[in-house]
Chain A
Amino acid sequence: MDNVIRRRTPGARLARAALYAVLIVMALFYLLPLLIMLLTSIKPLDEIGAGTLLALPEHPTLAPWVNAWGEACTGMRCEGVGGYFWNSFAIVIPAVAISTVVGALNGYALTKWRFRGSELVFALMLFGCFIPFQVVLLPMAQTLGWLGLSSSRAGLVLVHVVFGIAFTTLFFRNFYVAVPSELVSAAKLDGAGFFRIFWRILLPVSAPIIVVSVIWQFTQIWNDFLFGVAFSAHDTQPVTVALNNLVNTSTGVKEYNVNMAAAMIAALPTLVVYVLAGKYFVRGLTAGSVKG
């Protein structure tokens, strides 16, 4: 634990207890929406109408989850969100991989192979982080049309890569700027070229920032709705769009339990990524330099 020496007076203990009490209450408050979603998703429909939001289910059931995955109607079709869930993966995985690799190469080139105007290039790329998505919808639609990628998964991957590069470049550039340039000089004298230095020297020390980049990109792209709804066709929609359609398609009664189950399914991957790699995320963001 910590090495700070504290006097254990009764007053200090009380203050500590109060501190923890506040923290716990806050944490519970934050967890409340998730708890309600979870509870609602395993209640039968009649219990939802009868009980309160926080009431525990009397007859817990997984039927809403099964329904949401494979049967619920999203617009005209009634196939659940399962297919779109895999759609999202098919978009997210290549988009994350490509934008991370390109960002790493950009960061490497901008810090270790400086050229005239490299700072300006970086500043312009940084600018890309601040462009509102709405502004590029029309030009992007036009561009995708020209490229013959309209309404395709590849088109969505391209859009996410283009937008992600600004962020991944920023991450890697700031990480590599702290890696001593003498390492690169030494490798040059040892006979390594641009890609070999990247592969053999820089990449092996980049684990923390790769984790950051992957988590960030994964979350951003998985949660994207705007590009998904604008640039996809029926069978290439990501799960976020399908979820929206599911919630908006009503056949009489609102099936809150199915909606909640679908929302949980849509949110699950990012949750899992955070739980598994969250601590590396924080570590990677705060890791400054690589000490030789």
Chain B
Amino acid sequence: MATLELKQITKSFDDTHVIKGVDLEVNDREFVVFVGPSGCGKSTLMRMIAGLESATSGDILIDGQRMNEVGPADRGLAMVFQSYALYPHMTVEDNMGFSMRLAGVSKDKRREKVLEAAKILQLEPLLDRKPKALSGGQRQRVAIGRAIVRNPSIFLFDEPLSNLDAALRVQMRIELARLHEELDATMIYVTHDQIEAMTMADKIVVLQGGEVEQVGSPMGLYHHPRNRFVAGFIGSPKMNFIAVEQVSSDAEGVTIKLPGGETRQVPIDGSGHAGGGALELGVRPEHLVLDEQGPMEGRIQVLERLGGQTSLYVQMGDSLLTIMADGDVAYRVNDSVRFGFSSDRAHLFDAEGLSLPKLHRHPLAGLRRQDNRAPSDTVGQ
């Protein structure tokens, strides 16, 4: 059992407020990802959970126990750092066994535990090497191994994959997901990469400017972002925003006037919106559809062929829109294209950037990563 609870956590350095009152619950064996642009406070928040930074106010509870005054080594957690932070003068084995050595564990016992962790991570042939004789991926695994031998109740990962090349990153992502299952531990993971967040998280915490913007499952955030920031941050390429006008609103949804004059109805609850007219339509690149009868028109500025897909960057009025289209589309740069959008995937944002609620909840919005697996002993919420 390992749960984590943050209650109104704040952190200030003199007059700079880095964390402005964060509340969060992390359940046992959950994989939680903190994601946000750089400077949003996600790493500071993690260092506070680890005990490397003190909280200015608020409570940090692990398994219901207040941990604010407990030292980093006694909180029962282990951390993997962005730079791996391997001790350069020690062998892999000594690196992994360092915490046990400090705790006065006998040499045999230490070796046994290190070997156990090395087996999980396929590090056995490397135990006598120094960190500088290892590749990036191997160093990464040693850093994870050093965390595993401590038997922590909670694992903390601070951007652990950002120093790896793209191919290795995908591989380590899969390995971490596997590890999460194998160790059955609670994991908290910090990243600025929304793909890592989407692929690994049971629960994503989107942070900006020291505040939580939204907490939810990956599919929940994708389909029901609370505001324009979350909508733009989750999903790649980024969501397109198009200025539209509200014409009317009823039980079937909101009718909007698109640039170019045509109207469309989208299944969104407009009752909470006090009229005014000006709204922003949010449509993801994968939900914009090339269509010769489509209501909107633009000129292709750039065309990126990825093989399976083609990204079209289309100028419409002042805005450059991204459309994900089929890999074989025949268009060229400077061509004019017409396009529409799938209305049940569309979002509407008011002048404050808050999204209007959708009429129908997406069927997968509550899905957690663990639910993708065959039924097992997963503990539901």
Which A residues form the contact surface with B (CB < 8 A)?
Answer: 180, 182-183, 185-192, 196, 200-201, 204-205, 290-292
Q: Is the C-beta of B131 less than 8 angstroms from some C-beta in chain A?
A: yes
Q: Which residues of B contact A292 (CB under 8 A)?
A: 83-88, 131-132, 139
Bound CA span A292–B83, Å:
8
Asked whether, in the complex, the Cβ of B78 is within 8 Å of the Cβ of A189, the reply is yes
Bound CA span A153–B139, Å:
51
From B95-103, B220-228, B243-251, give the one contacting chain A. Answer: B95-103
Q: Is the C-beta of B253 less than 8 angstroms from some C-beta in chain A?
A: no
Q: Which residues of B contact A187 (CB under 8 A)?
A: 87, 98
Asked whether, in the complex, the Cβ of B72 is within 8 Å of the Cβ of A189, the reply is yes
Q: Which residue of A lies closest to B71 (CB)?
A: A188
A-B pairs, 7 with minimum CB distance: A191-B73, A190-B99, A182-B85, A186-B85, A204-B89, A182-B81, A191-B102
| Min CB–CB distance B244 → chain A (angstroms) | 48
Q: Which residue of A lies closest to B130 (CB)?
A: A292
B residues 73-117 in Cβ contact with A at 8 Å: 73, 77-79, 81-89, 98-99, 102-103
Bound CA span A205–B132, Å:
13
Q: Which residues of A contact B183 (CB under 8 A)?
A: none
Q: Which residue of A lies closest to B80 (CB)?
A: A186
| Contact A188 to B52, CB < 8 A, known contacts A182-B82, A292-B84 | yes
Chain B contributes a number of interface residues (CB within 8 A of A) equal to 28
Could you name 29 residue pairs across A and B whose Cβ atoms are closer than 8 Å? A182-B85, A183-B85, A185-B50, A185-B79, A186-B79, A186-B85, A187-B98, A188-B51, A189-B50, A189-B73, A189-B79, A190-B98, A190-B99, A190-B102, A190-B150, A191-B102, A191-B103, A192-B73, A196-B102, A200-B87, A200-B98, A201-B87, A204-B89, A205-B88, A205-B89, A290-B88, A291-B88, A292-B85, A292-B131
Q: Which residues of B contact A189 (CB under 8 A)?
A: 50-52, 72-73, 77-79, 99
Asked whether, in the complex, the Cβ of B72 is within 8 Å of the Cβ of A188, the reply is yes
| Min CB–CB distance A33 → chain B (angstroms) | 43
Bound CA span A183–B87, Å:
7
Q: Which residues of B contact A191 (CB under 8 A)?
A: 73, 99, 102-103
Bound CA span A254–B89, Å:
57
Known contacts A185-B52, A190-B73, A191-B99; 15 additional CB pairs below 8 A are A183-B87, A185-B50, A185-B79, A186-B85, A186-B146, A188-B51, A189-B73, A189-B78, A191-B73, A205-B88, A290-B88, A292-B83, A292-B88, A292-B131, A292-B139
* Contact digits for B112-132, partner A, Cβ 8 Å, 1 yes 0 no: 000000000000000000011
Q: Which residues of A contact B89 (CB under 8 A)?
A: 204-205
Bound CA span A188–B82, Å:
16
Bound CA span A200–B99, Å:
12
Asked whether, in the complex, the Cβ of A186 is within 8 Å of the Cβ of B81, the reply is yes
Q: Which residues of B contact A204 (CB under 8 A)?
A: 89
Q: Which of A180, A196, A200, A291 contacts B85 (CB 8 A)?
A: A180
Q: Which residues of B contact A188 (CB under 8 A)?
A: 51-52, 71-73
Q: Which residues of B contact A182 (CB under 8 A)?
A: 81-83, 85
| Min CB–CB distance A162 → chain B (angstroms) | 32
B residues 39-56 in Cβ contact with A at 8 Å: 47, 50-52
Q: Which residues of A contact B103 (CB under 8 A)?
A: 191
Bound CA span A184–B86, Å:
10
| Min CB–CB distance A285 → chain B (angstroms) | 20
Which of B47, B83, B103 has the most chain A CB atoms inside 10 A of its CB?
B83
Q: Which residue of B lies closest to A203 (CB)?
A: B89
Bound CA span A114–B40, Å:
23
